[in-house]
Structure 1
C-alpha cells in the first residue's frame, strides 16, 4: 500500500474534512483481484495504526483519528496550547471510506453493500453500506468502473459524495447543539443571522436535484437510508428552538430533518485486522470496564486519570472519579454518536472543575449534556444526576 495524498479541505462554512488516499493497485495489473477482499480491505483500512504529530503521541486506528485531528486543528488555528478536544465548537464526525476499483479487481462486494441506481449510462456501478469496525460506525461507498467508464462523471461523483458527507455531518452536529440548547437563535443578532444563513445553505445543498452535473436524488436517498439528521427524541426540541428563526429557514430545516429511511439501517460488524482495538479496557484502579468504542474509552480514561491526579478538594475528586465510572457504563448503552458526545461532556466538566478558574458556562453546558444523555438510560440516570448535582454544588453552579 502507498499513501497517494493527505489533504485538508475547507471553505467558508463550519465544515472541514481530511482526506487520505491509499493505493493498493499492483502496477500494470489492473484486471487482477486486489490483494484483499473488499470486506477484509475495509477492516484493514479502518484499523491502520496512525499518530497525529506532533502533540499526540498515541497510536490510534485510522477510523478513530478524528478526535486527535480535531484537537490538532484547534491548536493550529487558535492560541490554545493544551489539548481541548472537549471544546464544544470543534469535533469529529462519522468517518467515510470511499473505494474505487475496476471491473475484475473485486472478487465480491463489501458485506451488506446495496447498489445505487441511475449510473448505468455512465458505465459506472456504485454501492453503499454501513459497517462497524474498531468500535466505530462508518459509511462506505464503492465505485466500480471509473477507468473504463465515464471518468469525468466518476470524478464529479466522488467530489459530490465526499462533500455531501462532510456537510451532512456538520449539519448534524449543529442541529444537535441547537436541539440541546447549546446554541440559540435570537432575533436581530449577527451571530444568529450567520447561523440561519448556514442552515439555509446546508439544507439547500442536501436538497439539490442535480450536483456536479449528476442527478443527486438517488444518491441523497441512499445517504438518507443510513440514519436521520436528528435523533427522534430531539426533533421536537429542535423545532422549538427554531421558533425565533426566519420562517423560510425553520420550514427548510423541518422539511430536511423529517426525511428519514423507511426502515432502520442495517449495520454490519467486521473484525479489525492487524490492530486489535475493537475493545478497550478502561482502568479505574480497583476494576476495569471493557468498552467497544476506542475514542470514547480513551476520553473517559483521560477524564478519570485527570480527576485522580487533580483537585485539592478530596470530595470533588471522588465525585469526578465516580462520575467517570458511571459514564463508562452509560455510554455502553448509548448510540455511538451520543456516546461520543457524552464522553466529550465528561471531559469538559472534569477539565473545568479542576481548573484554577472554572468557566461556569462551559461546565454547566457539559453537565446538562450528561444529564440529557443519562435521561435516555433509566437505570443509570439516578446515579449520574446525583453526582453531577453534587459537583455543580461544589463549583457553585
Structure 2
C-alpha cells in the first residue's frame, strides 16, 4: 500500500431533517512515492466513491491549494469566543477570577464520570440540540473519569448540565486558545445550570492563565444572554483561514435538497408562503424547488435559476446568514427562499 484516505460517515441536522456527510481525513502517500501524481489519483477516486455511495455533502480539513482541485471549498468554523477580562465603564478590566466566583454553584459541579454520567449527558445533548441545525442527531459519551476540564452540574443526584473543555499545549493562535470548550448542554427548559457550569470552566481557565476561551457552543441569539451573564464578555464568530483548514463540498445539490425537503416544507407551511418555484444552480447542477402551498417538490431545474457558490448555499442551508447576503440582485423568488432558509440558532462543530 502506498496511499490511503479515511472516510467516516457523519450526520448533520437541518431542523428536523438529517443529512449524511462524509468526513474525509488521514490522507497520506508514502514518502518514497510522493511527486508521482498518486495523491491526485487517490483524491479523484475518493470523490468518485463518495458520489457513488450517495453522499450529498463532504467535509475535510487541509491545504486549500491541494483540495480545491477536487471540489472542496473553504468554509468558516463557528465559535463563541469568551474574553477572560471584561472592559468596565471606567476603562479598567474586570478580574475574571473574582468576578466569576460563585462558591454556592461550584459546590454542585464535579468531574464527569462516564460510568455514572454518560446516559444523562447523552439525554441532555439530545434535548438541548433537538431540531437544532448544524448539530449531530445524537452523541455517545465515553467512560472516562477524573478529567478536571470535563465537568457536570449535579442537583440531588441528577445531572442537569455538562461542559467539556480541554487545556491545549502551546503555541496558541487566534485559532487555538489555551483552553477550549468542545461541547456543553442542559435541559432547554432550564439553562441556569449550563450558565453556572460555563462560568466555573471559564474561571478555571483564568486561574490556569488563559486570556480567552474558544467554545464550540451554538451561535444562537436565544442563548446570548446566558453567555453574557456567565462570562466577562463574548463574541460569536465565523473564522476562516486563507491557507486551508475547514473545507466543504456539495457532492449532490439534488441529494442535499431532497434530504431536507421535509424540513423546508414545514417552514414554508409555517410561513404561509404563497405558491411558487425557484431554481438553484451550484457547480453546474441545477435543481428546482416547486411549492404548491402544501408540499415542496424537488425537481429538475428549468428556466431562470439562482447561481450560488458552494459556500453560499451551505451558509443558507445552515442558517448562518440572511438569504439576501447570498442571493444578489432583485428577485421575486427571494421571499420563498427567505421562508425556506431563515437565519437560525445554529450549532457548531459538525460542519466545521
User: TM above 0.5, one fold?
Assistant: no
Whichever structure has more helix as a proportion of its residues is 1
Superposition TM-score tier, normalisation by shorter sequence: 0.3 to 0.5
Structure possessing the higher relative contact order (Cα contacts under 8 Å, 6 or more residues apart): 2
Using the size of structure 1 for normalisation, the TM-score is 0.30
